[in-house]
A and B are shown apart, each in its own frame.
Chain A
Amino acid sequence: MTFFHKKQRNPGICRGRLAQSLRFCLASIVALFLIGRLPAQAPGQPAQYKLEAVFLFNFAQFVEWPATAFPDPETPFTIGVLGKDPFGTILDEIISGETVKGHKLQVERYRNVADVKNCQILFISTSEEARFLDILARLKGQPVLTVGESEGFARKGGAVRFLTSEPKIRLRINIDTLTESKLTASSKLLRLAEIVHSEVK
């Protein structure tokens, strides 16, 4: 019980300003505890998508687009979300005020693939799972970094797949697709990803 004795050995401190501070601290802790307990808090977006949104932002910096991707210097850098948007406002918050090589970052949301225009990164939501092969076929050869989560996404021609079945997010990158789309990923990004090739049909 030395722990308590040590405190008593210095009663002077406890009486003065420190005691007041301690009381204030205690009150704060109680207050915080109450706030922390409020279960009515909005659950927010799943952590997974928060992280994926940050990855999308990082891709803009670790991948090089060909000059044709930006018709003029004023063309914004667009991250598109096709289908049901899992990010909420997170993606917008992350890219807010950011630029990539002088291009202002913006987020666009698309209902279907026909709406996709002048977009550099396209996140294809799992809501489009049934259609992703058609979507990829339509974008084939265009300088668009396609990103998805569906089974077989990367091996079937998507550029980047998030693998989320483990507690950490892993990346699978189809190197063939990058070449076809004239995109160059930095070695730093490639080093952290699992590299695959397109499945030969």
Chain B
Amino acid sequence: MRRHSFVEQAGALTFSAVILLSFATSNTFGQTNLSEASPLELKKLSLEQLMDVDITSVSRRPEPLRQAAAAVQIITEEDIRRSGVTSIPEALRLADNLQVAQVNSQTWAITARGFNSTVANKLLVMMDGRTLYTPLFSGTFWDAQDYLLEDIQRIEVVSGPGGTVWGANAVNGVINIITKSAKETQGLLLNGGGGTEERGFAGLRYGGMLATNVYYRVYGKAFDRDGSVVANGADAGDAWKMGQGGFRIDWNAPGDNLLTLQGDGYGADLDTVSTAHTHLAGGNVLANWSHKISDESDTTLQTYYDRTHRSITGAQLVEDLHTFDIDFQYHVRVAERHNLVTGLEYRYTHDLLQNGPGLAFLPATLDRNVFSAFLQDEIMLRENLFLTLGTKIEHNDYTGLEFEPSGRLSWNFTTNQTAWAAVSRAIRMPSRIDRDFFFPSKPPFFLAGGPNFESETVIAYELGYRAQLHERLSGSVSLFFNQYDDLRGIGTSTPFMIDNNLEGETYGAELSATYQLLDWWRWRAGYTLLQEDIRVKPGKTDINAGHSEAIDPQHQFSLTSSIDLPRGFELDSRLRWVDRLNYFAGGVASGSVPSYFELDTRVGWHVTKNIEVSIVGQNLLHNHHPEFGAPGPGRTEIERAVYGKVVFRF
């Protein structure tokens, strides 16, 4: 088993958990709605497509339900295809347990359970087990993350702490982007299209066999994306272009060994809202060896190297980051009742900055080491009652040893209903923006990083319920209460100093339901409630009285309809409503992003087995609307967009 799956990792060590989760939280009917698809329709599918059909439909024989005591939503490849999304951050909108806001054509603010910003720092994001993380601010540069969307198998989105298994940064959630195996991507795929915002894009993938049980794929893609606009409708000047290519080789070697070698490289040129221009380049190579020792035990060894280059000409800031990571884990079932997972990881980052006259990260060059080990035991208390206890011990160069324990209990009280509860502690270790950030880049400083900045901590209490209530209806509810300490703020000293000067509580609920109204018509709804009380710690100060950490919608709601029409047509629509975001300056209300409704629609047509055409309309309800950012004439807004796309598969 590969490291890359939360579900596998988190103790739900059989696929049945995925199956259960897929039931409960997502739409796993595969390329075709199999449960009642007519024989005639099925006969039209190619062998490849048949291999791609999910048999995890509601009518499948009951699987043993396993615990997965976490708020997980799964975005399937089918969800991605039918939504018409064109980027990974956009695909994340499909998870109802995330707060996703598009700031401009390149920048996204994405978080779970609050604290959103363009440099949001409480989410751990991975692709095939490789951390998509910048030590600059403990977050993700979304503009540098891309893939051929057709080759993404699923995205697992976990809201709530994942620190016990995944470590620092998995404070409020974990996103796991999992690409398909090379075997699942055999043959040729070509796509291309264009429209108003997606000015032009094209992708190519070819998968073949190198030898018996050795499969490979190579891919390339490129796009040219239009800029967003400012409030008066004028172009914001943030158009950009990107190209990416990569490969993957999987060898199903004798003796239950699975070896994977994969890599990607990319480059992008971004015009930015200011006069600056950004150039991005990077690449990674990853090797994974999974070995099944017996039905009871297996090991995984994974290593990767990742480098990114980002140069912002206007700000004269250049960053070169090298990340090396090696990770080993061992899973064994002991004495029938214990499912043990243990792991060791080492990560080295070498971060090299060329600072401009404006802002600076000092020291300019920094090497960091993180060592960690974790142990987790899933204990079967009774046939349908599982207790998972574990902790991660992590050593980082900033704060030394950190502990991230958790306890989770799940109860499968009927074959298709699961209730779970969890208590966990997670931390966000300091990043360069917390300690090494200075403005301007030479003294006297106006703003300075805190030399004693410590890890932010959370203790999270969660309750959840997941059910397949009826053959056609499934749903899930998650409730959480989080207590935070040592949150980041900016003290009102001279210079302003970054400090652990905030604390607070958040609570909320995440609901989702899927209803197969008819064999050819599926509905899905999601709702998220989020309440935040962030305040200044006694004896401390903050320039915005803690309000900067709570720019989140209190409510958000989505409704998705997916219709299979005759003759290979598909009609999908997704309506979302996001509550207003309140902004404060100096602790005083300064305006808002109004609440908004938006609608995306896709019409697709499988012309033949091999050709699929679609027309997608995005953000159809407004000419342009803001999703994030303090009010002002320069705030960027997202425009209505329409594009057409053709996909060939051979």
Contacts and interface: CB of A to CB of B under 8 A. Distances in A.
A47 B57 contact: yes
A71 interface: no
Nearest to A54: B42
B35 interface: yes
Contacts of B517: 32-33, 36
Interface stretch (A8-16, A55-63, A76-84, A134-142): A55-63
Nearest to B63: A165
Nearest to A165: B15
Nearest to A4: B597
B318 interface: no
Contact of A48 (B55, B213, B597): B55
B186 A57 contact: no
Contact of A55 (B50, B518, B599): B50
Nearest to A6: B621
Interface residues of B, number: 48
B22 interface: yes
A17 interface: no
Nearest to B18: A167
A195 B42 contact: no
Contact of A194 (B52, B213, B470): B213
A170 interface: yes
Contact of B61 (A46, A191, A194): A46
A168 interface: yes
A41 B19 CA distance: 23
Interface in A148-201: 164-171, 188-189, 191-192, 194-195
B36 interface: yes
A104 interface: no
B50 A2 contact: no
Contact of B521 (A1, A3, A32): A32
Nearest to A167: B56
B44 to A, nearest CB: 10
A45 B22 CA distance: 21
A195 B252 CA distance: 10
A150 B441 CA distance: 69
Contacts of B521: 32, 36
Contact of B60 (A41, A47, A90, A194): A47
Contacts of B509: none
A178 to B, nearest CB: 14
B502 interface: no
Given A36-B472, A191-B186, A169 B43 contact: no
B97 interface: no
B212 A51 contact: no
A199 to B, nearest CB: 13
Nearest to A94: B39
Contacts of B22: 167
B51 A54 contact: no
A167 B596 contact: no
Contacts of A51: 34, 42, 50, 53, 55
A192 B51 contact: yes
A194 B47 contact: no
Interface in B30-45: 30, 34-37, 39, 42-43, 45
B256 interface: no
Contact of A3 (B470, B518, B621): B621
A58 B59 contact: no
A93 interface: yes
A32 B57 CA distance: 21
Contacts of B621: 2-3, 6
A39 B470 CA distance: 8
B486 to A, nearest CB: 40
A50 B37 contact: yes
Interface in B181-218: 183, 186, 208-209, 212-213
A169 B597 contact: no
A39 B58 CA distance: 13
A191 B206 CA distance: 14
B517 to A, nearest CB: 4
A73 interface: no
Given A44-B36, A55-B50, A195-B213, A50 B42 contact: yes
Interface string B581-604: 000000000000001110100000
B51 A43 contact: no
A169 B39 contact: no
Interface string B603-625: 00000000000000000011001
Contacts of B336: none
Nearest to A58: B47
Nearest to B55: A48
A167 B20 CA distance: 11
A46 B15 CA distance: 19
Contact of A94 (B19, B43, B599): B43
A20 B596 CA distance: 29
A35 B36 CA distance: 15
B47 A192 contact: yes
A86 to B, nearest CB: 10
A167 B51 contact: no
Contacts of B51: 168-171, 192
A58 B50 contact: yes
B48 A192 contact: yes
Q: What 7 pairs between A and B have smallest CB-CB spacing?
A: A3-B597, A167-B56, A47-B57, A47-B34, A93-B39, A36-B517, A94-B39
Interface of A: 1-3, 6, 32-33, 35-36, 39, 41, 43-48, 50-51, 53-55, 57-58, 62, 90, 93-94, 164-171, 188-189, 191-192, 194-195
8 contacts: A1-B597, A44-B59, A50-B34, A51-B50, A93-B39, A167-B54, A168-B52, A169-B51
Given A32-B518, A41-B471, A46-B55, 13 more contacts: A2-B625, A3-B599, A39-B471, A44-B59, A51-B53, A55-B50, A168-B54, A168-B55, A189-B47, A191-B209, A192-B183, A195-B212, A195-B213
